[in-house]
Structure 1
Amino acid sequence: MESKENSVPSASRRRSSVLGYEQSLMFGCYREQLATFARYQAEKAKENCIKIFGDWILLTTLGMVIALLSFVMDIIIHELYALRNWLCDLSFYMPVQYSIWVAFTVICILTSAVIVKYISPQAAGSGVGEMKVVLRGVVLNEYLSTKTLIAKILGLPLVLGSGLPLGKEGPFVHISSMVANHILKIFGSISSESEYDSRFLEVIAVACAVGVAATFASPVGGVLYSIEIVSVFFAVRSYWQGFFAATWGALLWRLFTVWFQFEESITHIFKTEFRTENPYETLELIPFALLGILCGISAYVFVTIQKHIKYSLIYPILVTTIVALISFPSAGGQFYASWLSAEQSMHQLFSNITWGVNDNETVNPIIDNWRTPYTSIYTNTFLFFIMNLLIVALTSTMPVPLGLIVPSFKIGAGLGRCYGEWLAYFFPNGLNPHSNRTNLLVVGAYSVAGSAAFAGANTGALSSAVIAFEMTGQLTHLLPVIVCVICATIVAQYLGPSIYDSLIKLKKLPYLPPIMQSSSIAHKIFVEDFMKRDLLYVWEGATYRYIKHLLNSKKQLNIYPFVNNPDTLILLGTVNRFELQSLLEKHLDKDRMAEDFPKKRSQVDSESAIHGKKSNVINLIVPENECLSAAAI
């Protein structure tokens, strides 16, 4: 009975401590106002609501902003194309048209290069490689800054509107990441600083998926691309977030085209109409695999050509002038349909008709773009593949914002079309000799497979097959396309790195590639087999003379290890180069040296400042020989 009586007051006291009142027999005497407790509960409920709906608000905002940017940029690019054609039509004289064509392209590229050089040099290139480095834990603050975002948005339309065969999808991965970083900072009330740091990588991974989805209308392919190419890991909780944001961004991008009456309804950007009944023969899997091998070899050639990155303003002027002189429609451009945009050329390359069978027709709006009085469609499709491969490899080294995903699809589409047309020429009745049907081969399917295979081999992403399916809206050739992409990716990875890994090495970014799972030799290598043993380090007893030697010997290092002593070398932390420089300037200034410099020399048996070697030397007792203290760092 006593235990029960004692338990009642304790429970009452616990309830009293919550609401802040004293329990009595008749009534509760409050020590605090209930308003304080109510405000606390309201603030707690507000934080819970923000945590629940904060992700939805962030992802919705991200999808809306990226979709709007993509739509506006498409309009600007279209208007620049129309402006170029209008300027060329002002004169009927070929030399004047030639000059306008070249000058327009050079001015657009030069303006973009100036914007990048003087606003943010980090805006050059696609930015996908940099995002791979960021998502592996390396801090690259300038690549996600506001200046880089502005330079990327201003420079990219000029590059694409100039007529060069480059894309916007890679830069939009970078733009989406920068927008997501700024949105995450705006929602400062959602989380603390530590929670922001923990969620940063998850939000950037989702943003990469939105960047692809809002330019290809491919939400599934965008998420898979983010998992496969950009992220070293993809959190399960980010999976639904990625699909939600990617679907929202792709849907809004296509809705904008309908609302502004550019299209009548939401459709696939490269809609195809391949036959669904008996779309391919079983024997066609072999030609599709061979096409994948050709795409893998071609992608390796592309990466090999694209080796050096230039940063001067003379280089883009020279490259643009050469490309513009070659691509003029009445000159070399007539042999590979240079006047067609990437969207127009891929629409025609994916067409369902076999061009070689209809090559004798007098008028055909599609075939007329791919033949001349001197060449046939077989020659022009091959030249389209060769010229775009060389031009894209050359122009992608310019210090301007540019993408390589759409050009890869475009190059592969040209190779696949040429390959399919030759197959239809040699096998008009199909690969099966016992079949009596004509035009059995669907040449457009080879173009789709080639585009996905070259893009997959060039970027190292098998998700390019899913993006191709979502772009065309057909799954009739699902198995052949996947076989083609797998073969291309295997060949390309065996021959060399992907284009993004190659650019990371060229830019000397801190990037640790993943271990190949297919190789068992890598798992037998220990750290001691490749680690550097002659290290420079800092400890509490180091002299200022040693610190000065440390900073002068390895000027490329920004962070130095801080150990307990030179004998055990137990790592305690790291010291920034700037902090060490500030320490030297503070303790070795001229005024202090003038005060403390002794007038007599003393014979001492001292320890050398470098690597602890014993030697008998005559030293002047100067401040440089003072020992470093841990409190000074």
Structure 2
Amino acid sequence: EHHGGLGRQEATRLLTEGEQLGSTLVLLESFLTFYLFLTDCIARVQRFLVTRLGEDWIFLVLLGITMALVSWTMDYASAKSLQAYKWIHGELRGNIPLQYLAWVSYPLMFIIFSSLICHLVAPQAIGSGIPELKTILRGVVLKEYLTLRAFLAKVIGLTAALGSGMPVGKEGPFVHIASICAAVLSRFMSFFSGAYRVNILTVGCAVGVGCCFGTPLGGVLFSIEVTSTYFAVRNYWRGYFAATFSAFIFRVLSVFNKDAVTITALFRTNFRMDFPFDLQELPAFALIGISCGFLGAFFVWLNRQVVLFMRRPNAMTRFLIKYRLIFPATVTLVIATLTFPPGFGQFMAGEVRVQNLHPQRHPACSLASPQKAAFIIWVLIICVSLPLWVQFWMSAVATTMPIPSGAFMPVFILGAAFGRMVGEIMATLFPHGIVFDGILYRIIPGGYAVIGAAALTGAVTHTVSTAVICFELTGQISHILPMMVAVILANIVAQGLQPSLYDSIIQVKKLPYLPELGFGHTRLYNIVVEDIMVRKVTFISSQSTYREVKHLLDSSSLKSIPLVDSKDSMILLGSVDRVELLALCDWWLSPERRILIRFFQHLPLPSPDPPSSGFYDSSARPSVCSLLQIRAWEEAEMDLAMEMDEIRVDPSPFQLVERTSLQKTHTLFSLLGLSHAYVTSIGKLVGVVALKELQKAIEGSTHSGVRLRPPLASFRDVSKHKSVPKLTPPSTAPSSQSSTSSPSPQSFPSAPPSPASEQIRHRTHPHPNQEQETEVWIEGGTGDTEASSSNSDLALPPSSTPPSAPPPSSPSTPIPLSTLRPSQRLQNAEDSDDEPVV
């Protein structure tokens, strides 16, 4: 009975546990059913939205909302920081030493923090970001410039810099921030990949400017002028939609935070609309434009000279590079000392905001007598111009600090101050105003300030859309005609003296860029591609062995390699990505392939024997004979011809013919964002042209005193009616420093030739243009620009040089065109290996 009772208890327990387990399973099944139903509903809604609206609308809305939130958050944080800055200064009033200590240490702390964040998290966040985006939109990939780390460093560093009160701007870095956000969001949208990458970056630039100031119209136009040489009109609606949506959300957030009563202009003005200016004032407006043109060119020159001075190799620059925080700390200390209110800062109106430069106020000197008018003019010029020049060089130097900083807003303030000074002088010269139709109209100095701001900003950036930005910032277009006249005159003067600020930074950083063709240079029409192309090209053929390909990959850093039919015909079949060749070479001798080969040869796989208890297993370590066999097998495999079916080939790389003009080549490179182009003659590969060759040719033609590398253009002019025998270039013509590090590709030698053989070959095959060969810059490595172009030109076999015999195991028949497959872009986040890297 005792055992029976225990059995019944155990059966009851098991039955209870079974019922509980069954109820748990039912509950889990119901949850799983609900989860599957919810997932299916979300997928259906996503498909409906994508089908009906399109991914582009969803992407633009998300980009606008995100950037509006980021912009408002940064403005809110920087505004609170500046309020705390002024509060500390006000609380210490009466104690000058403590006031000075607080006035200097507060921005010093923020600037050092900003510089430290950029240095530790992402050095790519330093500076404006627009020059780098301009380079990226021209087809060059800059590593780590569009990553999440750069986004975080840029946002945090820019917020700290704006909160320090230093003369730095927000517009340039915020364009970079918006472009990073657009690039990160596009990774989750399958629609925005491949060819649409340039479109989303253009939209990001427009959103960055539009959301920064709440100016969508001027933001789109400014982003187009600054970043694009040729703009696709189909992207207009994307830029306007995203910029308008982002600016609307940005202004609505300001209203919700009670920073504004309603959605109005950021720097609203109330100029009279019935008679804003008289025709007699147009010469003064034109004078503002011409003067701002000279000032803008001088600002660009001064900024570049400061950067070049800091990059000059000497003991001081080496010390500053070693201790990176000393330079921003020194600049901040000097600027804070000069702007200290009880000191020289009381003459600079450091606490006056830019809104106070635009009001419609009548000057006090209008009530003075005519005898005092001349004296007041000179006092006004001296008292206003001295602080203006101090602020001028402070802004030029502050924008060179290693922090996220822009120059748009500091230049905008300088232009407004200069225009205000001219307006006050005009109001002093005409104290009673201008009489028109029997009515006296006083001069508005605030209108001159708006015109000066637009003119100086346009002169520095070489844009005309700054006038539209000023219209949206002030909310009035009463001075549209004089503003456009001043901006155009400023651009005419500035473009004739200096490049734009962004082009100047590109030149200083030595980023790959394509200079513009100047007007009136007739020599450009006499230059063709064969004059500037590099004839020593790295290539592979259909008979190339794995050893040759491996040697080529180890000796060069190209991201794309041309594929020819054979070394005799040199017919261009396409191009192969470097990653494809690396993957193929790694697979060819991989353990997985060894196992597959042994399996298909029907050889039994070795089975591990059980270890003996007291004896040493001699078969546990491979013998010398087996190692030699493995080595011999590897050598034999490396001498086999490359299997072309295993790689993806781009059958349509961009090609040019020998007689393509330089102007047409420049247009194609600018329009399509090309980094390089192969030069062919009746289908034969004869050379390659990259951005570097095109840049040297254009600069050599437009700048005096610079000669082109091969003077074939003038040679053709001299020998138009003469029969000149064609010179055959030697097989190993020395070109530059890169020729010493790059082997000849036609034979792919396993060992480099000796110096003696090189000297004999050079003596027996002289070349008339031997010293004028330059290296090609085509899809370099991950180093800087100078290093990336040093391993990119290899000798192309001439027609007179007999090609080396292929290995015995190589197939003699060329690869059929039917085996070529179009290359596909990698879809992961590191998909940028088919483009040049800086």
TM-score bracket, shorter-length normalisation: 0.7 to 0.9
SS in 2 for 1:398: coil
Q: Does 1:69 align with 2:77?
A: no
For the Cα contact (< 8 Å) 1:356–1:377, is it kept in 2? no
Shift of 1:583: 6.4
SS in 2 for 1:562: strand
1:456-535 to structure 2, matched below 5 A, reads 456-516=458-518, 522-534=524-536
Corresponding residue for residue 89 of structure 1: 90
Corresponding residue for residue 322 of structure 1: 334
Shift of 1:291: 1.1
Q: 1:70 & 1:475 partners in 2: Cα distance?
A: 26
- Length, aligned pairs only: 549
Shift of 1:461: 1.4
Shift of 1:114: 0.8
Q: Does 1:414 align with 2:417?
A: yes
Q: Does 1:104 align with 2:101?
A: no
- Please provide the CA RMSD for this pair: 4.0
Shift of 1:60: 1.6
For the Cα contact (< 8 Å) 1:541–1:629, is it kept in 2? yes
Q: Which amino acid aligns with 2:562?
A: F
1:238-317 to structure 2, matched below 5 A, reads 238-307=235-304, 308=307, 312-317=324-329
1:184-203 to structure 2, matched below 5 A, reads 184-188=186-190, 191=191, 196-203=193-200
Q: 1:592 & 1:441 partners in 2: Cα distance?
A: 96
Shift of 1:569: 5.6
For the Cα contact (< 8 Å) 1:353–1:443, is it kept in 2? yes
Shift of 1:498: 0.4
Q: 1:541 to 1:72 in 2, by over 3 A?
A: same
Shift of 1:538: 5.6
For the Cα contact (< 8 Å) 2:270–2:360, is it kept in 1? yes
Q: 1:45 to 1:93 in 2, by over 3 A?
A: closer
Corresponding residue for residue 684 of structure 2: none
Corresponding residue for residue 400 of structure 2: 397
Query: 1:355 is matched with which residue: 353, 363, 370?
Result: 363
Corresponding residue for residue 123 of structure 2: 121
Shift of 1:415: 1.3
- Structure 2 runs not aligned, ≥5 long: 1-39, 311-320, 369-377, 590-626, 636-730, 733-742, 758-804, 816-838
Q: 1:559 & 1:106 partners in 2: Cα distance?
A: 44
Q: What whole-Å deviation, never above 9, does each CA across 1:556-608 have from its counterpart, x for those lacking one?
A: x5446435366766554255499679969999xxx99996799xxxxxxxx99
Shift of 1:545: 9.0
For the Cα contact (< 8 Å) 1:429–1:435, is it kept in 2? no
Deviates more, 1:465-474 or 1:566-575: 566-575
SS in 2 for 1:468: helix
Q: 2:481 & 2:569 partners in 1: Cα distance?
A: 59
Q: 1:164 & 1:469 partners in 2: Cα distance?
A: 26
For the Cα contact (< 8 Å) 1:381–1:417, is it kept in 2? no
Q: 1:96 to 1:299 in 2, by over 3 A?
A: same
For the Cα contact (< 8 Å) 1:378–1:421, is it kept in 2? no
Query: 2:174 is matched with which residue: 172, 175, 190?
Result: 172
Query: 1:223 is matched with which residue: 220, 224, 247?
Result: 220
For the Cα contact (< 8 Å) 2:294–2:493, is it kept in 1? yes
For the Cα contact (< 8 Å) 1:177–1:204, is it kept in 2? yes
Q: Which amino acid aligns with 1:60?
A: V
Q: What whole-Å deviation, never above 9, does each CA across 1:38-64 have from its counterpart, x for those lacking one?
A: xx9x99996464043233222222111
Q: What whole-Å deviation, never above 9, does each CA across 1:442-482 have from its counterpart, x for those lacking one?
A: 22111111100111111111100000011111111100000
SS in 1 for 2:457: helix
SS in 1 for 2:193: helix
Q: 1:546 to 1:485 in 2, by over 3 A?
A: same
Q: Which amino acid aligns with 1:227?
A: I
For the Cα contact (< 8 Å) 1:106–1:321, is it kept in 2? yes
Shift of 1:216: 1.3
Corresponding residue for residue 383 of structure 1: 386
Q: Which amino acid aligns with 1:50?
A: V
Q: 2:296 & 2:279 partners in 1: Cα distance?
A: 27
Q: Which amino acid aligns with 2:50?
A: I
Shift of 1:428: 3.4
Q: Which amino acid aligns with 1:339?
A: E
Shift of 1:170: 1.3
Taking every aligned residue pair, what percent have the same amino acid on both sides? 35
For the Cα contact (< 8 Å) 1:546–1:610, is it kept in 2? no
Q: Which amino acid aligns with 1:488?
A: A
Q: Which amino acid aligns with 1:379?
A: I
SS in 2 for 1:107: helix
- Which of these two proteins has the greater Rg computed from alpha carbons? 2
For the Cα contact (< 8 Å) 1:429–1:436, is it kept in 2? no
Shift of 1:412: 0.9
SS in 1 for 2:562: strand
Shift of 1:626: 10
Q: 1:248 to 1:431 in 2, by over 3 A?
A: same
Q: What whole-Å deviation, never above 9, does each CA across 1:64-95 have from its counterpart, x for those lacking one?
A: 11111111111111111122223333433212
Q: 1:51 to 1:592 in 2, by over 3 A?
A: farther
Q: Which amino acid aligns with 2:361?
A: I
Q: 1:518 & 1:499 partners in 2: Cα distance?
A: 24
SS in 1 for 2:187: helix
Q: 1:86 & 1:339 partners in 2: Cα distance?
A: 12
For the Cα contact (< 8 Å) 1:284–1:431, is it kept in 2? no
TM-score normalised by L of structure 2? 0.59
For the Cα contact (< 8 Å) 1:88–1:97, is it kept in 2? yes
Q: 1:415 to 1:520 in 2, by over 3 A?
A: farther
Query: 2:201 is matched with which residue: 194, 199, 204?
Result: 204
Q: Which amino acid aligns with 1:507?
A: K
Q: 1:386 & 1:594 partners in 2: Cα distance?
A: 76
Q: 1:574 to 1:484 in 2, by over 3 A?
A: farther
Shift of 1:134: 1.9
Q: Which amino acid aligns with 1:97?
A: Q
Shift of 1:499: 0.5
Q: 1:184 to 1:283 in 2, by over 3 A?
A: same
Corresponding residue for residue 234 of structure 2: 237
For the Cα contact (< 8 Å) 2:546–2:585, is it kept in 1? no
Q: 1:550 & 1:183 partners in 2: Cα distance?
A: 34
Deviates more, 1:495-504 or 1:418-427: 418-427
Q: 2:163 & 2:79 partners in 1: Cα distance?
A: 7
Q: What whole-Å deviation, never above 9, does each CA across 1:187-230 have from its counterpart, x for those lacking one?
A: 34xx3xxx522322222212211111112111111111122222
